[in-house]
Amino acid sequence: MNRPLIKSSAFVRTAKRVLKKNPKLATDIQTTLELLSKDAFHPSLRTHRLKGKLESSWACSVAYDSRIIFEFIQHNGKEAILLAAIGSHDEVY
């Protein structure tokens, strides 16, 4: 099931910052987003629900210390994924 990916303004802003700091992550990010759209719970993504102030959100891994924070939402009558933030473990949590 392919879910559309909707990029929040915060995600776009943080993605630009992450890519400026580490341009080599571009391929990993693209691969992760494609896989996230196809299968949000693919084992290589290590998708998990968050707790505390981010309890309505989920996280998946891009690389060793890079994470994407997202939420499942309804968009145009279909389930979609709202991309909220990207960055290192310490930056996004």
> Which of helix, strand or coil describes residue 82?
strand
The CATH number that applies at residue 25 is 3.30.2310.20
The pLDDT tens digits of the residues spanning 17-63 come to 999 999 999 999 999 999 999 999 999 999 999 999 999 999 999 99
CA distances from 68 to 1, 9, 50, 77, 85 (A): 20, 14, 12, 24, 6
User: Tell me, what's the pLDDT at 39?
Assistant: 96
Structural domain that includes position 59: 5-92
The pLDDT tens digits of the residues spanning 56-83 come to 999 999 998 899 999 999 999 999 999 9
Order of strands, sheet of 66-75, starting from the edge strand that comes earlier in the sequence: 5-7, 78-88, 66-75, 58-63, 48-49
What's the domain count of the chain? 1
